[in-house]
Structure 1
Amino acid sequence: MKIVDLFCGCGGLSLGLERAGFEILWACDNWDKAVNVYADNFSHRVEEMDVSNVFKTANKIRPLGVDGIVGGPPCQDFSTAGKRSEGDRANLTRSFADVIAAIRPTFFIMENVARAKSSRAYAEASDFLRSQDYGLTEVTLNASLCGVPQRRKRFFCIGIRDLPDQFLEDVIQRNLAAKEMTVRDYMSDEIDFEFYYRHPRNYNRRAVYTIDEPAATVRGVNRPVPSGYPGHRADAAPIDQSIRALSTSERSRLQTFPRGFTWDAAKTHLELMIGNAVPVELGHYVGRCLMEGLGCAASHDGKIASFG
C-alpha cells in the first residue's frame, strides 16, 4: 500500500507505518530542520513544502498513484499547553482535507492532540470529508496501551472511502494492551536509574517520575532540575543528586525511535521535533489496525477493490 506523509516532521509516523507494511513514496514538512533529520533516516524523497498550497501539494502527489495520505497538521493552536484560541495553523487541518479531496485516496490518517477533536477547524474538515464519501473512525488513543512507554493521548481520524463511520473502532479497541507500558518495560536494559525529572508546566504539578510507570507526555522542551525546585507531594521521590532530567536520546526512546536513528541538528531543535513527533510504535499500532480493517473490508464485499 503506497502512501505519502504530509507534515512528516522527523518521521515518527512514517517509520511506524513502514513497520506496519506501508510503502512511503514521498513526504514533506515546512520546517527545514525536521526535513533534514527525516532525509538522514529514510531513502524515499522528502521536501520542504507548505501544505497550505493545496494545488501545489496535490500536483506533487497525483503522479505517484498513492493508496493513502497520512499526516498530523501542526497542533500548537489546539494544544492545552498553549493558547486556547484557534490560529492560522489550525487552518492546515482544512488544507489537509482539501488535499484528500483533490487526490481521493482509498484511505487517510490524520493525527493530532486530543483537544483537536472539539475544535472548529476539525468539525469543518470532518464534515467536508464525509461529504467526499469517507467514513471516519475517530478515536483518542493512550499511547501506553499501544506499545509506547508514555501516557500520551492523541486523536486519530482514519478515513476509508465508501465505508461507514467508526468502521475500524472494533479492531482498534480489540488490539489495545491490557495494561499500560512502563519506562522499565521498554528501556530496562538501557537505564541505570529509578527516578527522573520532567519539568512541569507549573509547580502545582509533579515533576519526579519513577520508571515503573508510563512517562508523562514528552513535550518540546527539556529543562534540567532548577536549583529552586520546591518539590511536590505527588513526586515519586524527593529531589537529590541522583535525579536528573532525561537526555535527548532517552527522550527519543520514550517516543520509541530506534537506537540507531540519526539525530543531526542543534539540541534545541531536536528537543522540539522529538516532542512534536508521533511515537513510532503508536504509528505502528494504528497502521496494523488499518491493515487489518482494510483486509476485512476487501474480503467481505470487494468495496476496496485495490486490496482484493
Structure 2
Amino acid sequence: MKVIDLFCGAGGLSLGFKNAGFTIVAAIDNWDPALRTYQSNFDHPVIKSDLADINTITGKLKAFKPEIIIGGPPCQDFSSAGFRNESTRANLTVAFAKIIGNLKPSYFVFENVPLAKYSHSFKEAQRIWKEVGYGLTSIVLDASLCGVPQRRKRLFCIGARYASDGFLERQLQTGYRDPMTVREYCGSSIKVNNYYRHPRSYKRRAVFSIDEPAPTIRGTNRPVAPGYKGHPRDTAPVAEVRPLTSDERALIQTFPPTYIWDVDKRSDKEQLIGNAVPVKLGEYVGNALREWIQNKE
C-alpha cells in the first residue's frame, strides 16, 4: 500500500513502515537538515513545503494517490518539557487532520506526545476525522514494550475509514514484550555500562545503566553538569560517566548504524535524532496495521 509521510523529519516513521512492508511514495517537511537527511536515506521524492498551507499540500499529494498517510506534527507545545501552550505549531495538528479529510486515504497514523490527547487541537482533529468517516484507535505506547530500548511513551491515533472505534487495539496490545534494555538491543555497540543524561531537575537521577531501558532520547544532548552532585538512584558515580554520543543516541532510537545524517551542525543532528519516531516503534505500529488489513481482506 502506498504511504505518504507528513512532517517526516529524519525518517524514523517512514523507515519503520517500510520495514513493515509498506511502500513509501513521498514525504514532506519544511526544515532543510531533515530534508537533506531524509533524501540521503530514501529514493522516493521528499518535498519541502509548509504543511499549514492545506490547499497547496492537498493538490501536491493527490497525484501520489496515497492509501495511507502517516506523520507526527511538531510536539513541543504539548511536551512535558515545553510550556504546554497551544500555538501555531499545535495548529499543525489540525492542518494534518484537514489534509487527511481532503484526501480521504483508507488509513492514517498520527503520532505525538501523550499530553497531546488533552489538547484542543487533538480534539478538533478527532472531530474532523469522525466527520469524514474514520474509526479511530487512540493509544499511548511505551516504546520499550515494542522492541525499542527506551522508555519513550507516545500517543498514536490510527484511523480506518468505515471501521469501528478501537479497531486496532488488540493487534497493538498483543505484541508487547518485556521491556527492552540498551544492552539487549545494542550489544557491544555502546562501550560503557553507565552513562549521563542531563535531568530536567537536579532532584531527578541523571546516571543510567545499559541494563535498563534508556529514558526518552531528547533533542538536546548536554555534557555532565558541574552542578549535578548525584542522586540515590544513579547507577554509578557521576564523575565516572559521560553522555552518550550522537551515534549511540541514534542507535537507541533504533536507526541502523549505516543511517546518513546530512547536517552541518551537531545540534541539528541531535535535534533530528531526539525528535524522531524510533524506527522499531514505527515498525511495530506498521506491523499491527498490516495484520489488521490482511485479516480484514
Using the size of structure 1 for normalisation, the TM-score is 0.95
| 1:42 matched to 2:51 | no
Displacement of 1:125 after TM fit?
A: 0.7
Offset from partner CA, 1:99-153 (integer Å, 9 cap, x none): 0111110000000001101111001110110111000000100000111000000
Secondary structure of the equivalent of 2:63? Answer: helix
Q: Which runs of 5+ in 2 are unaligned?
A: none
Q: Which of 240, 245, 258 matches 2:256?
A: 258
Secondary structure of the equivalent of 1:222? Answer: coil
Partners of 1:103 and 1:278 lie apart in 2 by 24
One-letter identity of the residue aligned with 2:256? P
Partner of 2:100: 100
Partner of 1:232: 231
Secondary structure of the equivalent of 2:189? Answer: coil
Displacement of 1:86 after TM fit?
A: 1.0
Displacement of 1:254 after TM fit?
A: 0.6
Partner of 2:190: 191
Partner of 1:30: 30
Q: Which of 244, 247, 250 matches 1:249?
A: 247
Offset from partner CA, 1:219-258 (integer Å, 9 cap, x none): 00001112232111111111233x1000000000010000
Please give the root-mean-square deviation of Cα atoms over the aligned residues, in Å: 0.8
Secondary structure of the equivalent of 1:188? Answer: helix
Partner of 2:16: 16
Partner of 1:268: 267
Displacement of 1:79 after TM fit?
A: 0.6
One-letter identity of the residue aligned with 2:248? E
Partners of 1:207 and 1:102 lie apart in 2 by 46
Secondary structure of the equivalent of 1:154? Answer: strand
Partner of 1:68: 68
Offset from partner CA, 1:74-119 (integer Å, 9 cap, x none): 1011111000221111101110111011111000000000110111
Displacement of 1:264 after TM fit?
A: 2.2
Partners of 2:225 and 2:233 lie apart in 1 by 18
One-letter identity of the residue aligned with 1:14? S
Displacement of 1:189 after TM fit?
A: 2.3
Q: Is the 8 A contact 2:229 2:238 kept in 1?
A: no
Partners of 2:39 and 2:191 lie apart in 1 by 32
Displacement of 1:191 after TM fit?
A: 2.2
Secondary structure of the equivalent of 1:64? Answer: coil
Q: Is the 8 A contact 2:11 2:38 kept in 1?
A: yes
One-letter identity of the residue aligned with 1:187? C
Displacement of 1:63 after TM fit?
A: 1.2
Q: Is the 8 A contact 2:17 2:283 kept in 1?
A: yes
Secondary structure of the equivalent of 1:259? Answer: coil
Secondary structure of the equivalent of 1:111? Answer: strand
Partner of 1:202: 201
| Range that drifts further, 57-66 or 247-256 | 57-66
Q: Is the 8 A contact 2:219 2:272 kept in 1?
A: yes
Secondary structure of the equivalent of 2:239? Answer: coil
Displacement of 1:272 after TM fit?
A: 0.6
Partner of 2:211: 212
Partners of 2:62 and 2:213 lie apart in 1 by 41
Q: Is the 8 A contact 2:33 2:262 kept in 1?
A: no
Partners of 1:44 and 1:290 lie apart in 2 by 22
Across the two proteins, how many residue pairs are aligned to each other? 296
Partner of 1:302: none
Offset from partner CA, 1:30-68 (integer Å, 9 cap, x none): 111111111111111101111111111111111111111
Partners of 1:66 and 1:187 lie apart in 2 by 35
One-letter identity of the residue aligned with 1:237? A
Using the size of structure 2 for normalisation, the TM-score is 0.98
After superposition, residues 69-148 of structure 1 pair within 5 angstroms as 69-148=69-148
Displacement of 1:188 after TM fit?
A: 1.4
Partners of 1:39 and 1:236 lie apart in 2 by 39
Partner of 2:296: 297
Q: Which runs of 5+ in 1 are unaligned?
A: 299-308
Secondary structure of the equivalent of 1:189? Answer: helix
Partners of 2:31 and 2:65 lie apart in 1 by 26
Partners of 1:239 and 1:107 lie apart in 2 by 47
Displacement of 1:296 after TM fit?
A: 1.5
Partners of 1:272 and 1:224 lie apart in 2 by 15
